[in-house]
Structure 1
Amino acid sequence: MTKALALAAGLLAATALPALAHTEDALRQSPPPAPFIQVSDALPLPEFIPGLGTLFVDPATLPAGPFLAYDRDGNLSATVYMTPLEELANGTSYDDLHVGAHNVSSVDIYYNAGHPGVEAPHAHVVLFHGDEARGRLAE
């Protein structure tokens, strides 16, 4: 399973980097333009989630996302994907996923047992945009 998650993350990163080139500037500051909505306005989640920040998503891209993660100052800090493990195990592919910014300084992948919006167990794939992004989202 670890190899499958690593492979999935690599494929996500490789296919996502060329996307959203024409809208990257519009996504740098919160709130992003339509069709993105603030996750906490649609689901019973806090406005700011430590480690993930303030999340926005285009509902049409659920469950994978991308979820755009902003720090408390409204700066885009990460792009997050939430990929259900059962769907990955059954062969579902998430192709041509977008990113909020092309600068990706590091990637985290971790298990989540489920939460409002993505109730099934899933992997969080977090692409951090900048060396200090992780710290800005932790606060």
Structure 2
Amino acid sequence: MIKPLFLSAAFLATSVTFAVAHDEKALLQSPPGDPFVQVSKVLPLPDFLPGLGTLFVDPEKLPAGPFLAYDHDGKLSASVYMTPLEDLQNGTAYDDLAIGMHNVSSVDVYYNAGHPGVEKPHAHVVLYHDPEAKERLAK
């Protein structure tokens, strides 16, 4: 049921070029616009996930992402990647992943057992875009 929702969103986004993802200024404030969809609008997740914020993703870029993470004020705070461990163990490489913003102040990598949207055990790779981002996303 979840995958069809993402596929439907992906079909809607096919008429839009991915160029907006490379336009950093277009992504700085929530909502980022097409082809990104708010994760909580298509999956049974809260609008704001403590530690990750309000997430948007281009369904065509699943499972890795990037998921764009916005704080409570709608400021882009992090780019998040969710890479399934099984895929990595089987040799899948996630090359040339887009980023929400070129400025990165720190990176966290941690295990996640799975959740709606990325059900398999995976690694979260979180690129924080400013020194206060992690704190803003925690609340």
TM-score bucket (shorter structure): 0.7 to 0.9
* TM-score between the two structures when normalised by the length of structure 2: 0.85
The one-letter code sitting in structure 2 at the alignment partner of 1:120 is: K
Question: 2 CA distance for matches of 1:62 and 1:21?
Answer: 14
Corresponding position of 1:29? 29
Corresponding position of 2:138? 138
Identical columns (%) = 75
SS in 2 for 1:135: helix
Corresponding position of 1:9? none
The CA RMSD over aligned residues, in Å, is: 1.4
Corresponding position of 1:17? none
Question: 2 CA distance for matches of 1:69 and 1:46?
Answer: 13
Moved over 6 A (4+): none
Q: What per-residue deviation string (whole Å, max 9, x for no partner) do you get for residues 108-130 of structure 1?
A: 00000000000000000000000
Is residue 114 of structure 2 the alignment partner of residue 114 of structure 1? yes
Question: 2 CA distance for matches of 1:117 and 1:22?
Answer: 24
Q: Alpha-carbon deviation of 1:75? A: 0.1
Larger RCO, structures 1/2 (Cα 8 Å, 6+ apart): 1
Counting matched residue pairs gives 121
Q: Alpha-carbon deviation of 1:22? A: 4.5
Q: What per-residue deviation string (whole Å, max 9, x for no partner) do you get for residues 76-98 of structure 1?
A: 00000000000000000111100
Mark the runs of 5 or more structure 1 residues left unpaired by the alignment.
1-19
Mark the runs of 5 or more structure 2 residues left unpaired by the alignment.
1-19
